[in-house]
Amino acid sequence: MNIVVCIKQVPNTIDVRIDPVSKNLDRTNITGVINPFDKNAIEEAIRLRDKHGGEITVISMGPPQTIDALREALAMGCDHARLLSCREMAGADTLATGYVLSKAVNKIGAVDMVLFGSHAVDADTGQTGPIVAEFLDFRQITFVSQIDMEGNHVTAERMLEEGRERVRSKLPVVMTVTKHLNTPRYSKPVNIMKAFRKDIPIWNYEDLGCDINMIGIPGSPTIVTEIFEPKRRSEVEMIQGSPEEMVKELVAKLTADHAI
């Protein structure tokens, strides 16, 4: 079975900065880590490969430093890694990102399964996985908390707001997974050393055969028009009187404000 895991490098800090001109995240001097939910996708891919055979290729689109996240995925147990990176891809929204990832999956070829984390902790949209499925014309299952394989079919349990749902699909399939699926493993020192010796090719938009009008800013129909820090204002009013009088006045004020 040929599995592709798409990962994203996210900032390892809550002290993020926004470029006031581009309106994009300023990643200068910020340490990146693998998006936590993507580690669940990596872990599940390794378990499926070890049980059913095959290979795992981990891919990520981002600046050159994203290669650190790919090496971490290799250290966890992935077989191959590819970095999708060039200046023309910068500033992409989820649609343009999904397009590039789908072209990479097509270039790898003969892919049976594509795994994503349910969402990225920095953007929190959960859109990229389904977008890739649409570009590839693959079946898709989202918010997966359990996976069972039987032949060329997969049965997955989905987490819904109220309850769970079991879905059976024929391969190839795109799945987004939740943190409830498994517990990601730690990398062994020997595997970390091996990961740093592995070659990680860098594919640009020409290598992938991308339409330049569908990548980066030109291919992004959504843009950030304004970023600002929320200003919080609180007002405190002291209520005087006996406990009974204060409760009566408080209830009256909450009722007048339609709070109760």
pLDDT band at 25 (very low <50, low <70, confident <90, very high): low
Annotate 117-133 with DSSP letters as a single string. ES--TTT----HHHHHH
**pLDDT at residue 81 in the model:** 98
Average pLDDT over the chain, rounded to whole?
91
Structurally, at CATH architecture level, domain 2-214 sits in 3-Layer(aba) Sandwich (3.40)
| Rounded CA separation 189/136 (Å) | 37
What CA dihedral angle connects 92, 2, 178 and 198, to 10 degrees?
-70
Of 14-23, 85-94, 251-260, the one with minimum mean pLDDT is 14-23
User: Any idea where the domains of the chain sit in the sequence?
Assistant: 2-214
In Å, what is the CA distance from 81 to each residue of 10, 64, 160, 187?
A: 18, 13, 32, 16
Q: What is the pLDDT of residues 162-197, one digit of tens each?
A: 889 999 999 999 999 999 999 999 999 999 999 999
Going by their DSSP bridges, the two strands 80-84 and 113-117 should be labelled as unpaired
Q: For residues 60 and 92, is the Cβ–Cβ distance under 8 A?
A: no
Overall pTM > 0.85: no
**Contact of 17 with 26, CB cutoff 8 Å:** yes
The region of weakest confidence among 5-9, 83-87, 105-109, 123-127 is 123-127
pLDDT of residue 219: 95
- Burial per residue of 149-178, b for 16 or more beta-carbon CB atoms within 10 angstroms, e otherwise: beeeebebbbbeeeeeeebebebbbbbbbb
* pLDDT score, position 12: 78
Contacts for 172 with CB less than 8 Å, ≥ 6 apart? 111, 112, 113, 114, 136, 138, 139
Average pLDDT of the residues in 63-69:
94
Instruction: Of 170, 105, 98, 161, give the one whose Cα is nearest residue 141.
Output: 170
| pLDDT band of 234, cuts 50, 70, 90 | confident
Task: With beta carbons less than 8 A apart as the criterion, state whether 128 and 61 touch.
Answer: no
